[in-house]
Amino acid sequence: MKSKLNLDFNVVNSARQHAANIAHDMQDFIDRHTTVSTERTILRLLGVDGVDEVDNPLPNVVVDQIKDAGALPTGAAYWMGNAIVQTGKTPQEIAEEVGAGKLEITKLPTCSQEEAAAALEPAIKATFERIDMQKAKRAEYLKTIGEGPEPYLYVIVATGNIYEDVIQAQAAARQGADIIAVIRTTAQSLLDYVPYGPTTEGFGGTYATQENFRIMRKALDEVGEEIGRYIRLCNYSSGMCMPEIAAMGALERLDVMLNDAIYGILFRDINMQRTLVDQFMSRVIIGYCGIIFNSGEDNYLTTDDAIESAHTVTASQFINEQFAVLANIPENQMGLGHAFEMDPSTTDGFLLELSQAIMAREIFPNARLKYMPPTKFMTGNIFRGHLQDALFNLVAIWSGQSLQLLGMLTEAIHTPHMQDRYLSIENAQYIFNNCKHIGDEVEFKEGGIIQSRAQEVLGKADALLAEVEKEGLFATIEKGKFGGVKRPFDGGHGLEGVCVKGENYFNPFIARFMDHE
C-alpha cells in the first residue's frame, strides 16, 4: 500500500531496529531477575487463591515467607513443588497451611529441581485447561454471535461498586459499546497485593479483584447473548501487581488489558527494574491468552505537550511493539496507544492530529491501535467538549483506528453518568457511519501540512530511539526523555521486591506461555 503521508519506510525500519535493540538489551536484564509479584503470579497460576484470617492474600503470605527466609532467588515454583513432594498436598492446601502459621515452606526437607518441577505438573495442567477453555469460549462467541466493526466503541464504568458497574456496563452494551473497561480505584496501582472478593467501595473506580472480574464477565456474556454481539472486558494489568492481574485476566477471560512496558515507571513512580521484569511476565501471559494489550503512550501527552512531544509517543510505540515481540505477542493483540490531546486553540491542530493518527496506522498496519480522547483540554463546558469528541471521532474513522476510547462530554467533571455514555456512543456511531470511507477517498497534498508533519515526527522519533539505544533505556528514563518525567534506577516503589535469580531458579510458565503461533 502506498503511503498517503509519503513516509520514508527506510526511516521506519531504522526506528524499528533501534527499538528492537533497546528491547533486547533490556531482556538480558529481565532474564536475570525476578520479583515478588512475578513469584506471586506463579503461585496464582498453580491454583493458590484466597486470603488468610487478616485478609492477606495467600500468594503474598507464601512469597513473603520465602523472601523473609532469604530463599526467593530459588523461586516460588521450586518451594511449592518441593512442598508438594514432601507433604502430598495441593498448592492451595499448602498455602492455607502457611497462612495458618502451620507450615514454613522453606524448612521442609528438599528434593531435586526435577522432582519439584514434576510435582507441579498436575496444577499446571489444570490451569492451562481452564485458560484454553476460556480462549475457546471467546472464539466460539466470536464465531456465533460475532462482534461490532472497528473502531470498537470502548467506554468506561467507574462507580466504585461492582454491582452498580454491571448495570452501567450492560446499559452501555445495549447502547452499542463493544468494550467495557472497569476503571480501577485510584490508589490500587501502588498496592503490593491484589485485594480479594467482590467490592462495593472505591474512589474514581472499582478494585480489580478476581471476583469482580468474574462478576463483570458473566454480566457481559449475558448482555452479549441478548444483543447478539460479543462484549469485550478490559481491566488493568499495571502497577505493582501487573503480572498477577494478567494471570487473573487469563483465568477470567478478560479481552483487553492496559499494559505498558514503562508507564508505571513514569507515571506511578514504580521502580524501573521492578516494572521491566513484571511487564515481561505479564506480557507472555497476555500473548498466550489472546488478550489485546493497551499501552499508555497517551499519558505522555497529559504531562508533556502534544505538539512538541508527539515523537516521544511514536518512539514509545516502537519500544512497546518490540517488548511485545519478545514476549511473543501477535501483532493483532498489540493495542499501541496514542491520543487526541493537542490544544484545541491550535491553528490547523486538526490537521496535525490527523497526520499523527494516520502515521501510527501506516507504521503499525496490523496493530490494534488504541486511540484516546481529549482529556487535558476538556473544560467543563460540555457543549464544546462534545464537539472536541466529534473531531476526535472523525480522525479515528479517517485513520482506521481499532479501539476507540470514547470521549465523554463530562470529562473533567465526573466519572461518566449513564446518559453521558449514551451521548458519546451516539456521537461516535453518527460520525463512523457518516464518514465510513473517508479514509479511502481522500489523499493529501504532496509536501503539505499533513505530510510534512508526519515526516518530521517520524524523523524525530527515529533520532530519539537512536539516542536511547546508545544510552540504554534505564539511563534515558533517568534523564526524563519520556513524558518529561525523570526516575532514578534505584528509586520509586517496589525495588525491595526485585531479586537476582539463583542458580536453581525456574519459572515453569514462561516457556509454556511463549509456545503459541
Partner 1 sequence: MADNKNTAIAQVDLTKVKPYGDALNDGKMELAFTLPVPYGEEAEECAKQYVKALGFLEPNVTYYHELTPGFTFFVVYGSAQQTIDYTAINVPKVEGTVMDRVECGEWIGEHIGRDITVVGASIESDAHTVGIDAIIQMKGFHGHFGLERFKHVVPYNMGSQVPCEQLIAKAKEVNADAILVSQTVTQKDIHIIQLTKMEELLEAEGLRDKIILTCGGPRISHELAQELGYDAGFGPGKYAEHVMSFIMQEVEKRGWQDKPNIADR
Pairing of strands 179-182, 334-335: unpaired
Q: Which is nearer to partner 1, 32 or 417 (CB)?
A: 417
Using CB under 8 A as the criterion, what x/- string covers residues 412-441 for binding partner 1?
A: xxxx-xxx--x-------------------
CB-based contacts of 262, cutoff 8 Å, min separation 6: 272, 275, 276, 316, 319, 473, 477, 482
Q: Which is nearer to partner 1, 120 or 405 (CB)?
A: 405
Residue 517: its H or E element? none
CB-based contacts of 399, cutoff 8 Å, min separation 6: 354, 357, 358, 360, 361, 439
**Binding of partner 1 by 332 (CB under 8 A):** no
Q: Smallest gap, in angstroms, from Cβ of residue 186 to partner 1?
A: 5
Decide if 31 is catalytic: no
Q: Which is nearer to partner 1, 22 or 177 (CB)?
A: 177
**Binding of partner 1 by 203 (CB under 8 A):** yes
**Binding of partner 1 by 484 (CB under 8 A):** yes
Q: Which is nearer to partner 1, 167 or 449 (CB)?
A: 167
Binding span for partner 1 by CB under 8 A among 76-84, 134-142, 298-306, 385-393? 298-306
For 362, the grid coordinates are 501506516
Q: Which is nearer to partner 1, 11 or 413 (CB)?
A: 413
**Binding of partner 1 by 189 (CB under 8 A):** yes
Pair 335, 256: CB distance under 8 Å: yes
Strands (DSSP E) contained in 161-276 are 179-182, 232-236, 256-258
The residue within the footprint of partner 1, chosen from 41, 170, 273, 476 (CB under 8 A), is: 170
What is the spatial distance between Cα 87 and Cα 300, in angstroms, rounded to a whole number? Answer: 51
What is the spatial distance between Cα 206 and Cα 200, in angstroms, rounded to a whole number? Answer: 7
**Binding of partner 1 by 154 (CB under 8 A):** no
> In which residue are the cell numbers 479517517 written?
398
**Binding of partner 1 by 293 (CB under 8 A):** no
Q: Smallest gap, in angstroms, from Cβ of residue 204 to partner 1?
A: 4
Cα torsion 399, 403, 406, 412: sign = negative
Reduced 3-state DSSP string for 34-83: EEHHHHHHHHHHCCCCCECCCCCEHHHHHHHHHHHCCCHHHCHHHHHHHH
Cα torsion 243, 248, 250, 254: sign = negative
Can the peptide bond before residue 344 be classed as cis, meaning omega within 30 degrees of 0? no
Q: Smallest gap, in angstroms, from Cβ of residue 314 to partner 1?
A: 20
For 28, the grid coordinates are 538480558
Residue type, 25: D
**Binding of partner 1 by 190 (CB under 8 A):** yes
User: Given 3-state DSSP classes, what are the helix, strand and coil percentages for the chain, each rounded to the nearest 5?
Assistant: 55, 10, 35
CB-based contacts of 302, cutoff 8 Å, min separation 6: 341, 375, 376
Decide if 298 is catalytic: yes
Query: Which residue among the candidates 236, 263, 422, 505 is catalytic per the annotation?
Result: 263
As beta bridge partners, residue 254 has none
Site residues for partner 1, 249-278, by CB under 8 A, read 267-269
Number of residues that bind partner 1 (CB under 8 A): 33
**Binding of partner 1 by 380 (CB under 8 A):** yes
The residue within the footprint of partner 1, chosen from 305, 331, 467, 471 (CB under 8 A), is: 305
What is the spatial distance between Cα 443 and Cα 431, in angstroms, rounded to a whole number? Answer: 19
Site residues for partner 1, 14-53, by CB under 8 A, read none
Q: Which is nearer to partner 1, 36 or 166 (CB)?
A: 166
The residue within the footprint of partner 1, chosen from 50, 204, 459, 472 (CB under 8 A), is: 204
> In which residue are the cell numbers 520509586 written?
492
**Binding of partner 1 by 187 (CB under 8 A):** yes
Decide if 481 is catalytic: no
For 96, the grid coordinates are 492455607
Strands (DSSP E) contained in 103-255 are 152-157, 179-182, 232-236
Q: Which is nearer to partner 1, 184 or 368 (CB)?
A: 184
Q: Smallest gap, in angstroms, from Cβ of residue 311 to partner 1?
A: 16
Binding span for partner 1 by CB under 8 A among 4-12, 410-418, 431-439, 501-509? 410-418
**Binding of partner 1 by 238 (CB under 8 A):** no
**Binding of partner 1 by 112 (CB under 8 A):** no
Residue type, 372: M
Q: Smallest gap, in angstroms, from Cβ of residue 415 to partner 1?
A: 7
> In which residue are the cell numbers 518490540 written?
322
**Binding of partner 1 by 480 (CB under 8 A):** no
Q: Which is nearer to partner 1, 12 or 242 (CB)?
A: 242
Query: Which residue among the candidates 178, 255, 298, 389 is catalytic per the annotation?
Result: 298
Q: Smallest gap, in angstroms, from Cβ of residue 418 to partner 1?
A: 5
**Binding of partner 1 by 500 (CB under 8 A):** no
Active site residues: 263, 298, 370
User: Which residues lie near partner 1 (CB under 8 A)?
Assistant: 160, 167, 170-171, 174-175, 185-187, 189-190, 203-204, 267-269, 302-305, 343, 376, 379-380, 412-415, 417-419, 422, 484
